[in-house]
Chains A and B, each alone.
Chain A
Amino acid sequence: MKAHMDIALAITDPRRLARLKSIPVLDRAALLAFLDDPQLSELIPRDALATHLYYGSEYCEHLFPDADELAAALKQAERLGLTFVLSTPIANDALVTRIAAAVECLPAGAQVLVNDWGVAQVMKTRFAQYGVVAGRQLAKMVKDPRIPAPAWSRVYPSNYGAASYARLLSRFGIGQVELDVPPFAGAAMFALDDLDVSVWAPYAYIAKGRICKIGSLGARTEDKFAPGRVCNRECLGILEREPDAAVSSLRTFSRGTTMFYQHDAAMFGVVRDAIAQGHVARLVLSEV
């Protein structure tokens, strides 16, 4: 039973980070205003203060912060009294090098969110002084918003609850795993014996790729839709969304390389119950 729940705000866009400058204290009211999602009031305790700031990208090498962006984020975290968490994606060699350079700038007590076993290995061998949390791309589960019944999730059972998975994470010095709320979830899915659990709300990622439709907007036709190409971070200014949940009961979005769904009322209830039952060590709040 978790006596105290961390509350984290996750940001990827430098312009959204800049909005934090006008916030003196990241309390419940400030979080709700920043995220502009009244339903989150169900999840954030009345006297809550944010404890962590996540900055970076879990989904795209092009969105990983440069030195100036990282410095700005670290400054905001320090000003607001937040523990900094650097969010990192699956990486090629060049990005692993950038991640390592970024980690060298982190203050004591910071954490790194990893979604790549290679990055986890680098953290273990070179930066063991920093805390590491296992991201949602390392905690696998079926999150297809279209599945019509719970039985479809059991086609491929999740792995994150297995004792062997916790042992594997412990080899990397990882004791905390981040989870989404899948369709047909119950609060018990967050009750892990051997790991602390973060839960993300109110968006879950469904799938991510390396080919970016919107990132190809400025490319010549024949050069579009390929890895390793430069982009202008178009995804930070343009979002695809369903006007209403039409394909499934979960309203779905596409930002850059990644598809997300938004929690419905039932999922909010699951998270609320999981928090009440003490299963959630950290609640991570984000925009889509």
Chain B
Amino acid sequence: MKITSPISHIDEIAPLVAAGARELYCGVVPSDWVAQFNTGAVNRRYFGNLPGLAELEKAVGITHALGAELFLVLNAQHYGAAQLDALVALGASFHEMGGDAVIVADLTLIATLREQVPELAIHVSSVASCRNSAAVGLYRDLGVRRVILPRDVTLDEVEAIARAVPQLELEVFILNDGCVFEEGVCHSIHLPKKLGGPICVDSYGFEYVGATGNSLPQRAQRRLLDNDEDYKRWLWYRFGCGFSTTEEGYPYGPCGLCAIHRLRKAGIASIKIAGREGPTERKLKSVDMVHQVLEKAGQGADAATVAATAVGIRKTLTHCQSGYMCYYPEVRAR
């Protein structure tokens, strides 16, 4: 099982590979894209991209020299008709550079790339919201190499898909950057803070009402407000615990480290660290954490020992026991 790490600058490649990442993923904004399409959004993130194709080609060379693979994200939920040709050309360029795979969510783009650049490996992005075997089988039949499952899947669901479609590689989330909604079906934009920021944490002053618009009894209102307080705590965890870290710099936030034992047994090909836009140190410490736990699992440790290793890295049992910091809470420390 490999570690997949984001990069946003070529200087990050060597230290991340040294820390244990064997797969890296990046975005790029080609120099003519903004002029041609009046948007810098080539992929899901407006920021955290390499500045051009020359840098991308350097990134491929550096990554390969270190024995790792580099993937390019073309993972916006949707692209307009005018952009599809440019994206196919970008995918073809990446392939000519020696790039290892593109990460794509838009099924139209996947089908088009398979037709026009058949040698280019495709990973289906988590933004495709693919979480059943029938969908994974569809992508297999289209000739993709890997499917990245979305956040908020259970380990039972992961294992069921792995059993049902063993011919295809699966990748799952392991650390960082939770999303409140399903990323593939959130049609909002992460606006600048002065315009509200992400919609999931914008300042909506909702009131609770009953099915017919009626007011709810006081007791129900109190329960709902208590639940809201729990939800706010969950949001804090989901957004990386305020992007806080331990003294050693290990990041808090959405985490699946305790599940590594089960994920290895299920034959998962790769585990994904999210956060292309994050600082380099956060990425390095993230890879370091995952590598430590993966090494322990690779030594044949049982599930409990692997989980104990995971929890022991940040030494903050209360966060782990809360249940709110876990990608796979069914195996959390109790």
Q: Are B230 and A221 in contact (CB under 8 A)?
A: yes
Residues from chain A with a CB closer than 8 A to the CB of B77 are 140, 156
| A121 CB-CB contact with B under 8 Å | yes
Return B150 CB to nearest CB of chain A, in Å: 8
Partner of B107, one of A95, A117, A151, A213: A117
A226 on the interface (CB 8 Å rule)? Answer: yes
For B111, list chain A residues within 8 Å (CB): 164, 168
Inter-chain contact B204/A226, CB cutoff 8 Å: no
Once the chains bind, are B216 and A208 in contact (CB under 8 Å)? no
Q: Please give me the residue from chain A that is nearest to B227 by CB atom.
A: A217
> For chains A and B in complex, what number of residue pairs have CB atoms within 8 angstroms?
236
A247 contacts which chain B residues (CB < 8 A)? 196, 202-205
Name the B residues within 8 Å of A207 (CB-CB): 181-182, 185-188, 199-200
The verdict on B300 contacting chain A, using a C-beta distance below 8 Å, is no
Give every chain B residue within 8 A of A222 (Cβ-Cβ).
Answer: 321-324
Indicate if B207 sits at the interface (CB-CB under 8 A): yes
Q: Nearest-CB distance from B237 to chain A (Å)?
A: 9
B79 contacts A157, CB within 8 Å? yes
Q: Which residues of A contact B205 (CB under 8 A)?
A: 242-243, 246-247
With A140-B78, A143-B187, A168-B107 as known contacts, state yes or no: A93 contacts B227, CB within 8 Å.
no
Name the residue of chain A whose CB is nearest to the CB of B209. Answer: A239
Complex CA gap A198/B137 in Å reads 29
Q: Determine the chain B residues whose CB is within 8 A of the CB of A146 once the complex forms.
A: 188, 191, 195-196, 199, 202
Q: Is A227 an interface residue (CB 8 A)?
A: yes
**Is the CB–CB distance between B191 and A13 below 8 Å?**
no
Interface string of A135-147 (1 = CB under 8 A from B): 0010011111011
**Chain A contacts of B204 at CB under 8 A?**
242, 246-247, 252, 254
CB pair B107–A154 under 8 Å, yes or no, is no
Are the CB atoms of B209 and A238 closer together than 8 Å?
A: yes
B132, B181, B322: residue with the most chain A Cβ atoms closer than 10 Å: B132
A232-288 contacts to B (CB < 8 Å): 236-243, 246-247, 252-254, 257, 259
> Is B209 within 8 A of A157, CB to CB?
no
Complex: A45 Cα to B203 Cα, angstroms: 39
Given contacts A13-B211, A116-B132, A227-B152, whether A93 and B161 have CB atoms under 8 Å apart is: yes
* Interface status of B35 (Cβ within 8 A of chain A): no
**Do A156 and B210 touch (CB < 8 A)?**
no
How many positions in chain A have a CB within 8 Å of any CB in the partner chain? 74
Mark A87-124 against chain B: 1 for CB-CB distance below 8 A, else 0. 00011110110000000000000000001111101100
CB contacts (< 8 Å) of B81 on chain A: these are: 157, 159, 161-164
Q: CB of A2 within 8 A of chain B?
A: no
B149 to nearest A CB, angstroms?
Answer: 10
Question: A117: which of B138, B157, B191 is its contact (CB, 8 Å)?
Answer: B138
Say yes or no: A158 contacts B80, CB within 8 Å.
yes
By a CB distance below 8 angstroms, the chain A residues around B245 are none
In the complex, what distance in Å separates the CA atom of A236 from the CA atom of B212?
A: 10
**Does any Cβ of A come within 8 Å of B76's Cβ?**
yes
Chain A positions within 8 Å of B218 at CB level:
none
Query: Which chain B residues lie closer than 8 Å to A168 at the CB level?
Result: 107-108, 111
Q: Is the CB of A206 within 8 A of B187?
A: yes
* A144 and B192 alpha carbons, distance in the complex (Å): 13
In the complex, A228 has a CB within 8 A of chain B: yes
Q: Does A216 contact B (CB under 8 A)?
A: yes
What chain A residues lie within 8 Å of B184 (beta carbons)? 137
| C-alpha spacing A208/B21, complex, angstroms | 32
* Docked-complex contact A156 and B76, CB < 8 angstroms: yes
Q: If A211-B152, A213-B231 touch, does A228 touch B132 (CB 8 Å cutoff)?
A: no
- Since A118-B130, A254-B206 are in contact, a sample of 5 more A-B pairs with Cβ atoms closer than 8 Å, ordered by chain A residue number, is A156-B189, A208-B185, A214-B224, A240-B209, A257-B181
Closest A-B pairs by Cβ, 5 of them:
A157-B80, A118-B135, A118-B134, A140-B78, A162-B81
